[in-house]
């Protein structure tokens, strides 16, 4: 019988977690109640005491608990819960985890959930789930469910939310158990970065790579997607990288809303994974609705992708610097890597006659790459647009050649 961990601050929300655990047991699952509260004694009897969890942090938790500084205690329990829960998963003691929380509870529980593998069932019912949850979810697959009302007793609203959450985690555990009985795919993994403006290229390249016997996972280059891709590459599960859409660096450098952090493009170097790198969509910086664009950019060239997305064209100076950044990232790669440049357009809207056509900016980008790439790294210029099937084929075939050389 699968066991689902019910983790929470039982000193303040114990009765709610007890009710949730009972809902899960009524569905035929076992539960493991784990207390991560630190301000007072739990109001219910847990299966795992907070002191046992705290000890997993290897810190002087007794002294920290004695000071009763809430922020310090939450930080301690977040680290400790991550260590404790990861060990339970590794031992096969639990098959899913669920929690209810406000600010502190959500911080602790999601820190623990982020330490767990992708695919492991994890559900967080939170009073914060209706806002920006990126820092709670990170690059994992935590399911966030809005609590609607505060996690403070059972009422007609909270009971409904908790029952739905219990059904969700039980269903997820059943799905995970079913996956374990299916034959595992033995195809090596390739990851690819894609944007709406590079979809045709990535789809065609994916078709070619998959026909050669690989499984291709595509990540949307929206900041979070780039971080998730980097995380998967760093995990050691990936055989090759089709980094066709490096647009997140434009946002990171210029100040858009879809940056993926300064570590973007680092994972392939550290993991020693063969890669193809393309300056796809470095012509655009992403903002929200037009009124959200900073005033300092008022004289720039814009394209309204949709009512919620405003794109700004990168200028020649920015492109030159982006070229340097891309080159210096690639220079750290030890496994085979090739840079491919589609000289007619790096996105749909930067082609001749399109809103972001700027030959000088593109030339600055390409020159910046070529001037800073270290000797020995191939830089191939192709007289076509990024979505030309010929360019997609060149990307796919170059990666396949690198993979073949690495496997020989």
Domain final position from 126, 160, 180: 180
- Tens-place pLDDT, residues 265-301: 999 999 999 999 999 999 999 999 999 999 999 999 9
**Residue 18 pLDDT level (bands cut at 50, 70, 90):** very high
Q: Are residues 156 and 215 in the same domain?
A: no
- Tens-place pLDDT, residues 42-79: 999 999 999 999 998 877 888 878 888 888 888 999 99
- Tens-place pLDDT, residues 95-114: 999 999 999 999 999 999 99
Residue pair 319/365 in contact (Cβ under 8 Å)? The answer is: yes
Confidence (pLDDT) at 57: 82
What CATH number did the domain enclosing 297 receive? Answer: 3.40.50.12030
Confidence (pLDDT) at 235: 86
Q: Are residues 130 and 241 in the same domain?
A: no
Residue pair 123/163 in contact (Cβ under 8 Å)? The answer is: no
Confidence (pLDDT) at 183: 72
Tell me the whole-structure pTM to 2 decimals: 0.79
Query: Cα–Cα–Cα angle for 377, 194, 245, nearest 5°?
Result: 35
Q: Identify which of 162, 121, 115 has the alpha carbon closest to the alpha carbon of residue 139.
A: 115
Residue 406 has pLDDT above 90, yes or no: no
| Dist. CA 353–CA 403, nearest whole Å | 37
- Tens-place pLDDT, residues 235-256: 888 999 999 999 999 999 999 9
Number of domain units in the chain: 2
Confidence (pLDDT) at 284: 98
- Tens-place pLDDT, residues 83-97: 999 999 999 999 999
**Max Cα distance, the chain (Å):** 70
Q: Is the dihedral of CA 121, 202, 247, 314 positive or negative?
A: negative
Question: DSSP letter at 381?
Answer: E
Which helix or strand (DSSP H or E) is residue 5 part of? strand 3-8
Domain that holds residue 209: 189-407
Which helix or strand (DSSP H or E) is residue 313 part of? strand 309-313
The token pair at 185 is: 């795919």
Q: Within 10 Å of residue 275's Cβ, how many Cβ atoms?
A: 27
């Amino acid at each position: 019988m699968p066991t689902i961990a019910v983790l929470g601050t039982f000193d303040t929300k114990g009765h709610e977690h007890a009710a949730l655990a009972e809902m899960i047991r009524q569905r035929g699952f076992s539960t493991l109640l784990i207390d991560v509260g630190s301000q007072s004694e739990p109001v219910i009897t847990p299966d795992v005491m907070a002191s046992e969890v705290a000890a997993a942090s290897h810190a002087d938790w007794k002294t920290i608990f004695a000071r009763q500084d809430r922020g310090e205690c939450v930080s301690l329990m977040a680290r400790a819960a991550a260590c404790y829960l990861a060990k339970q998963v590794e031992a096969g003691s639990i098959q899913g985890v669920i929690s209810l929380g406000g600010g502190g509870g959500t911080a602790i529980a999601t820190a623990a959930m982020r330490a767990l593998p992708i695919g492991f069932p994890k559900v967080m019912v939170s009073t914060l789930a209706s806002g920006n949850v990126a820092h709670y979810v990170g690059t994992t697959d935590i399911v966030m469910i809005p609590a609607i009302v505060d996690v403070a007793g059972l009422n007609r609203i909270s009971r409904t939310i908790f029952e739905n959450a219990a059904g969700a985690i039980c269903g997820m555990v059943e799905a995970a158990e079913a996956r374990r009985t299916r034959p595992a795919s033995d195809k090596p993994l390739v990851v690819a970065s894609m944007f709406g403006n590079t979809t045709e290229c990535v789809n065609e390249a994916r078709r070619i790579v998959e026909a050669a016997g690989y499984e291709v996972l595509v990540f949307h280059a929206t900041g979070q997607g780039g971080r998730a891709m980097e995380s998967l590459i760093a995990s050691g599960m990936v055989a090759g990288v089709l980094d066709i859409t490096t647009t997140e660096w434009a946002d990171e450098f210029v100040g858009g809303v879809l940056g993926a952090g300064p570590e973007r493009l680092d994972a392939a170097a550290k993991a020693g994974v063969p890669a193809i790198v393309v300056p796809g969509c470095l012509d655009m910086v992403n903002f929200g609705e037009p009124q959200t664009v900073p005033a300092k950019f008022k004289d720039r060239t814009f394209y309204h992708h949709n009512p919620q997305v405003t794109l700004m064209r990168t200028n020649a100076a920015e492109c030159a610097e982006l070229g340097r950044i891309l080159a210096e990232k690639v220079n750290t790669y030890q496994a085979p890597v090739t840079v491919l440049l589609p000289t007619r357009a790096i996105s749909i809207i930067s082609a001749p006659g399109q809103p972001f056509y700027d030959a000088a900016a593109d030339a600055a980008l390409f020159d910046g790459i070529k001037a800073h790439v270290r000797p020995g790294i191939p830089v191939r210029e192709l007289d076509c647009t990024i979505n030309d099937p010929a360019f997609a084929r060149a990307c796919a075939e170059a990666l396949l050649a690198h993979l073949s050389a690495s496997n020989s």
